[in-house]
Amino acid sequence: MLAFDEVLARLKDIVSSELGDRKVLDKDVAEALGIAPSYFAVLKKRGSIPFASIADFCAQRKISINWLLYDQTPKSLEESTEKYATIRYFRQINASAGNGAFNWEESFEAIRIDEAFVELLGGRSHLKYIDALEVRGDSMEPLLYDGDLVAVDRSHQDVRNGGIYVVRIDEELFIKQMERRDEKIWACISINPIYPVIQVRASQMHIIGEAIAVMKKEP
């Protein structure tokens, strides 16, 4: 981070474009930041940067606060940001791989994925269809383990034989391999052979989406 005097010099350069040709004083900067000049003098003596006031100052003028405080150019930040993307992670929604569990909360958090994973999920334009859900239970082992995060593609709701899908049956969510029995009946199959096959009518289930990738949670 730049020192107080360096930040002050940059602030004066910005304020000078607003005040014209006259010399910019510390009190001018203080007023632009919305700080009493006497208090600004105390901050200067202490070398204490008023971050909140500077954040508002930069937002009002559409100036990069990273440039002002760290000498980082917007272009360098943009290039770094483009290396990553985010998808929605519904922490409270469990796709059960065991006996079924349904716990829906509208709130979600964003989890970051790298560019290689973005391409695996279909590219940036496709991420709006991707959500991450957590697996519970062991019925899909060794393919999926308890605690794994699966990337679910909500644009894939036309079930294909042998695909792995998150499906809602009544008020429970399951993640299973789907196999058609006839035009009306689907089999929800566990990879772990100790679990029985669930037979369900097509009219009784709702396909949330296809599980297209597995993400191991970071410790």
Q: Do domains 4-80 and 84-215 have the same CATH topology?
A: no
What values do phi and psi take at 76, rounded to 5?
Answer: -65, -35
Residue-level pLDDT at 64:
84
What is the reported pLDDT for 104? 52
Let me know if domain 84-215 sits in CATH 3.40.50.2300.
no
Per-residue confidence (pLDDT) for residue 112, from 0 to 100: 80
What pLDDT score does 92 carry? 67
Question: 68: buried, middle or exposed (CB in 10 Å: 19+, 13-18, 0-12)?
Answer: buried
pLDDT recorded at residue 108: 76
Which residue do the tokens 């901050």 mark? 43
Say what the pLDDT of residue 193 is: 92
Question: CATH number of the domain at 4-80, please?
Answer: 1.10.260
The CB-side HSE value for 165 (13 A sphere, CA atoms) comes to 25
Residue 29 backbone phi and psi in degrees, to 5: -65, -45
| Positions of the chain with pLDDT lower than 70, given as ranges | 74-84, 92, 97-107, 216-219
Q: Domain residues of the chain, as ranges?
A: 4-80, 84-215
Question: So what's the pLDDT on residue 79?
Answer: 54
CA separation for the pair 109, 214 (Å, rounded): 18
pLDDT value for 81? 52
pLDDT at position 177 = 94
pLDDT at 216: 61
Per-residue pLDDT, 100: 58
